């Protein structure tokens, strides 16, 4: 239904209208979907500009963030629980396995099989002296003998076939996760914008959507470009490619970021204005915040690359509001019990996330494989990441009436 004008010449709003167009309340919704991340990122950018020496420790010690207790706590409370929320949504509903066999069975089985194969190959190789140190030493020796980077790489692969095979599987999975992550972050951001426009009764046409989504799509390309830039810099440090080539990639990606900001921000503003004008009402701030935040996410990591953790936590906060809303809606008829269901679910997700992501390296459960625990944890995280991205693309379809009911059943239609 498209909005038009009434007899008084005033535009009448189009689409559904609700007395309570919110997930929880306007303040909480705004904080979760992007408001908090905007405040944190703007603060970090200002501190970095005014007192750049504050962040010197992060520049000089790339892994320093991993040593900070507050990062571990926030990651456990927010990031790990958001991954587990995806599994809860996927497997807690009867009939999901039969409805989505690829998301529930086939894709996780394929990913786990590849991960196990990678671990087995690297474990056997480690017992035969084929490990990362041997690979690095072999590469260095080949390069000293005037071998080309490609020639040195091929020679090292022949000398350490088991380690290389296992590592290649892991790197391919990591590459897939990076591409998927870029799409996932920005796709979720658009989902937030579209959802809160829907709640407010803002009906968008295809042109409006394309204008607004141009920013999300451009930031997807920027995300991939950022990791390509980091990979080029790492390759140059190991002398696999020249410094000139790494610098060229960096210039290209930074140019992409500048062009994306300059072109898609005006386009997005125009898209919001068109939709607001047609609906006869302003766009709610909660619909705009995710769009604003996505630009600041990527601006932050280009200025302070060690703060990628802020993107992860911001994305996880956005996500958590939806499974918690679903849990409240599913038990809305249970009175006082319904009020504590989201909190109880959240505690369960935190515990599950800690067991999956944090317990293996803490207990060094994989030490008997002669593989460093953090590498096994990284491989496990890659498997969960890819499956999480795939599953979310399947289950969060607002066009699905079951999903609409679970997410929006708390809404009360506005009486005309």
How far apart (Å, rounded) are the C-alpha atoms in residues 415 and 383?
Answer: 47
* CA angle at 366 for the pair 362 and 367, rounded to the nearest 5°: 90
Burial 290-319 (b: 16+ CB within 10 A, else e): bbbbbbbbbbbbeebebbbbbbbbbbbbbb
Of 18, 20, 23, nearest in space to 321 by CA: 23
| Token pair for 24 | 């929880």
**What's the confidence (pLDDT) of residue 4?**
36
Tokens 């089985």 appear where?
109
**What's the confidence (pLDDT) of residue 331?**
83
**What's the confidence (pLDDT) of residue 296?**
97
How far apart (Å, rounded) are the C-alpha atoms in residues 149 and 41?
Answer: 39
**Which 3 state secondary structure label does DSSP give 125?**
helix
Predicted confidence pLDDT, tens digits, the chain (416 residues): 333 344 444 444 455 578 889 999 999 999 999 999 999 999 999 999 999 899 988 888 877 887 788 888 999 999 999 999 989 988 887 788 888 999 999 999 999 999 989 988 888 888 888 877 777 777 777 767 766 667 766 777 788 888 888 888 998 999 999 999 999 999 999 999 999 998 898 989 999 999 999 999 999 999 999 999 999 998 888 777 889 999 999 999 999 999 999 999 999 999 999 999 988 889 999 999 999 999 999 999 999 999 999 999 999 999 998 999 998 888 887 766 667 888 899 999 999 988 888 766 555 555 555 555 556 777 888 999 999 999 998 888 777 788 888 899 999 988 75
Of 73, 64, 84, 127, nearest in space to 305 by CA: 64
Residue 9 burial (10 A CB sphere; 0-12, 13-18, 19+): exposed
Residue 369 CA neighbour count, 13 Å, CB half: 19
DSSP character for 269? Answer: H
| Token pair for 91 | 């497997």
- pTM metric for this prediction: 0.87
**Which 3 state secondary structure label does DSSP give 11?**
strand
What are the domain boundaries of the chain? 26-406
**What's the confidence (pLDDT) of residue 136?**
73
Q: Are 157 and 143 a contacting pair, CB within 8 Å?
A: no
Q: Are 41 and 310 a contacting pair, CB within 8 Å?
A: yes
The partner residues of 5 in beta bridges, in order of sequence, read 11
**What's the confidence (pLDDT) of residue 205?**
93
Q: Sign of torsion, CA 105 110 115 121?
A: positive
How far apart (Å, rounded) are the C-alpha atoms in residues 252 and 335?
Answer: 57
DSSP3 helix / strand / coil % (the chain, rounded to 5) = 80, 0, 20
**Which 3 state secondary structure label does DSSP give 276?**
helix
Distance of CA 248 to the CA centre of its chain: 27
Dihedral angle over CA of 235, 237, 239, 245, nearest 10: 60
């Amino acid at each position: 239904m498209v909005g038009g004008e009434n007899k008084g010449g005033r535009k009448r709003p189009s689409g559904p209208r609700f007395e309570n167009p919110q997930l929880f309340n306007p303040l909480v919704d705004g904080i979760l979907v992007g408001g908090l991340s905007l405040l944190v990122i703007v603060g970090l950018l200002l501190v970095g500009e005014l007192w750049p020496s504050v962040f010197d420790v992060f520049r000089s010690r790339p892994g320093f963030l991993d040593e900070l207790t507050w990062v571990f706590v926030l990651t456990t409370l927010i990031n790990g629980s958001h991954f587990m929320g995806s599994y809860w949504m996927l497997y807690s509903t009867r009939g999901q396995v039969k409805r989505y066999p690829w998301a529930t069975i086939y894709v996780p089985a394929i990913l786990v099989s590849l991960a196990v194969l990678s671990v087995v190959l690297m474990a056997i190789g480690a017992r035969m002296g084929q490990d990362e140190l041997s690979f690095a030493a072999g590469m260095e020796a080949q390069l000293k003998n005037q071998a080309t980077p490609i020639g040195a790489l091929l020679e090292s692969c022949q000398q350490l076939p088991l380690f290389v095979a296992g590592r290649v599987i892991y790197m391919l999975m990591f590459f897939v996760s990076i591409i998927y992550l870029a799409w996932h972050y920005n796709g979720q951001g658009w989902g937030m914008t579209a959802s809160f426009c829907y709640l407010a009764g803002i009906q968008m046409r295809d042109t409006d959507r394309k204008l607004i989504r141009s920013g999300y799509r451009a930031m997807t390309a920027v995300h991939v470009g950022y990791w390509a830039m980091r990979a080029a810099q790492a390759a140059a440090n190991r002398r696999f490619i020249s410094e000139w080539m790494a610098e060229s990639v960096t210039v290209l990606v930074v140019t992409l970021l500048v062009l994306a900001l300059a072109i898609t921000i005006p386009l997005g503003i125009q898209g919001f204005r068109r939709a607001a004008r047609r609906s006869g009402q302003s766009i709610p701030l909660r619909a705009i915040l995710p769009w604003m935040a996505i630009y600041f996410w990527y601006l932050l990591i280009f200025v302070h690359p060690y703060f990628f953790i802020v993107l992860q936590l911001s994305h996880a906060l956005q996500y958590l509001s939806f499974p918690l809303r679903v849990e409240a809606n599913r038990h809305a008829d249970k009175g006082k019990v319904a009020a504590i269901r989201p909190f109880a679910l959240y505690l369960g997700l935190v515990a599950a996330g800690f067991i999956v992501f944090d317990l293996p390296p803490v207990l060094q459960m994989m030490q008997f494989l002669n593989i460093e625990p953090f590498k096994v944890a990284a491989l496990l995280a890659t498997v969960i990441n890819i499956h999480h991205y795939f599953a979310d693309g399947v289950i969060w379809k607002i066009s699905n009436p079951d999903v609409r009911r679970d997410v929006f059943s708390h809404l009360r239609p506005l009486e005309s």
